[in-house]
Structure 1
């Protein structure tokens, strides 16, 4: 057991086995399908294919952040056991859960004045958030204390590059991220918007590229331009996808061929239920360590 707890939200979009292997604790986000509330529990409640089938058939889906009460219930057993906690939340540019976490922290501070409960806004999402947690777990394993690790996260969190594209704009339109008119034109022209997570942690459409193949090549090109060490990049690469693993593998095959010094092979993950409720199927997201987002 480590000296302190390292925890995150299920929207880090890795797997439970991945988190357990690194001794990272996790609190679940929530989503609703046709009025029934579910936990974003790494696909146990709804496998990705089942969730997308229901979405495509017209199911009403919404999401809900981790609440103040959820955080208190999650953290209290660790504090009662005499352990300190460092928690990183999903980006505040995407969700209000960072505010909920801070409110829960403040409530628990009076109850456990001798304990340290540190909350950091990851400014990251999906497996980019997972990539950050992976590195923090390594640093903790190397002996870094809670305050030092929190400071490292704040200093380096913007170095996690997030680049993604979608070949199906249906749910971006439904969620209001792309207008109906733009979506209609995009569909007719086979446009795949290339998006990123900005320095404030929000999502942004950066380029509008015709055809999925060009979008796949573009995100790899962006990695050449932005990765730490350029073509000599020697760290890990994560990719997440929503029901389009073949598209994701096309990207990872190119990356493994063009970045021969990277640490191991590209790791693939499913985009979790919370984020999938907004993207729908057809999204591929690439994450690597790069120049700080500005």
Structure 2
């Protein structure tokens, strides 16, 4: 049997993951001197309230010990771990280290999704479906790698200080945060390890138009899922999703609320626009 494991970059809680089935290890956030497992010990609304009160958050990945314990829960099964993008998080490296601490590491397959949020969730959903269909691990791994190569992610931060403080972007890109009345656009670098400058819109709408133009160039005629994820910017996200549906009538369009870990990195009111081939 193949067991599926991932982390809450998928925007799944532990309980939601059980329905796939998939064991979800929550990312952690620290704020006001306390560390919480997102979805399980703190919700986004409470987290935002602490930010508004002036507290500065940080985030971290699940511990190696937690993963080793989870791996040992299934001693007779193959295990497939689909982690958040290496470089944007330490979850991949932690899972690899945990794998090496097991008695039979060859039965554990750790996949760097090279993405996060919407496309990461899609990869986990896809893997769960392939497992239910009885596919072998080699076929599943090949299919996942083919899909990973098609993903594209943009971030529209509304408080650039979060990305700068978290080190998720290059110094040149971080300097854009000082440009007043402009909307910076970040794109995930090809290898998925960091965010870098894509451009600057003279307005939020102009930035969205630029992103959708690049998406159109990227997906061409492929069947894709396009996700719009937001941190308390539902009105803006709704407008973007409507534009996506109009411009990509054959795409599968979805919207997600970002979790505490991504609010920590992208800042309140940030919006992610992402695509991956179906």
Query: What's the TM-score, normalizing by structure 1?
Result: 0.84
- Structure 1 pair 279/83, CA: closer, same or farther in 2 (3 Å)? same
User: Is the partner of 2:74 in helix, strand or coil?
Assistant: helix
Identify which of 200, 203, 206 aligns with 1:214.
206
Give the corresponding residue for 1:149.
140
Query: What's the TM-score, normalizing by structure 2?
Result: 0.88
User: Is the partner of 1:78 in helix, strand or coil?
Assistant: coil
| Counterpart mapping for 1:1-294 below 5 A | 3-14=1-12, 19-41=17-39, 44-79=40-75, 82-108=76-102, 110=103, 112=104, 116-176=107-167, 177=169, 182-184=176-178, 186=179, 188=180, 190-201=181-192, 202-229=194-221, 233-263=222-252, 266-289=253-276
Question: Mind listing any 5+ residue stretches in structure 2 that lack a counterpart?
Answer: none
- Structure 1 pair 283/205, CA: closer, same or farther in 2 (3 Å)? same
* Deviation at residue 66 of structure 1 after TM alignment: 1.9
- Structure 1 pair 119/181, CA: closer, same or farther in 2 (3 Å)? closer
Asked if 2 retains the 8 angstrom alpha-carbon contact of 1:14 and 1:270, the reply is: no
- Structure 1 pair 223/19, CA: closer, same or farther in 2 (3 Å)? farther
Whole-angstrom distance in 1 between the partners of 2:52 and 2:151: 32
CA-atom RMSD in angstroms: 2.3
* Deviation at residue 118 of structure 1 after TM alignment: 0.9
* Deviation at residue 21 of structure 1 after TM alignment: 3.6
* Deviation at residue 69 of structure 1 after TM alignment: 0.7
* Deviation at residue 15 of structure 1 after TM alignment: 5.3
Whole-angstrom distance in 1 between the partners of 2:175 and 2:89: 26
Whole-angstrom distance in 2 between the partners of 1:55 and 1:280: 10
Whole-angstrom distance in 1 between the partners of 2:199 and 2:235: 22
Whole-angstrom distance in 2 between the partners of 1:148 and 1:234: 21
* Deviation at residue 198 of structure 1 after TM alignment: 1.6
- Structure 1 pair 151/63, CA: closer, same or farther in 2 (3 Å)? same
* Deviation at residue 123 of structure 1 after TM alignment: 0.9
Whole-angstrom distance in 1 between the partners of 2:233 and 2:12: 16
User: Is the partner of 2:89 in helix, strand or coil?
Assistant: coil
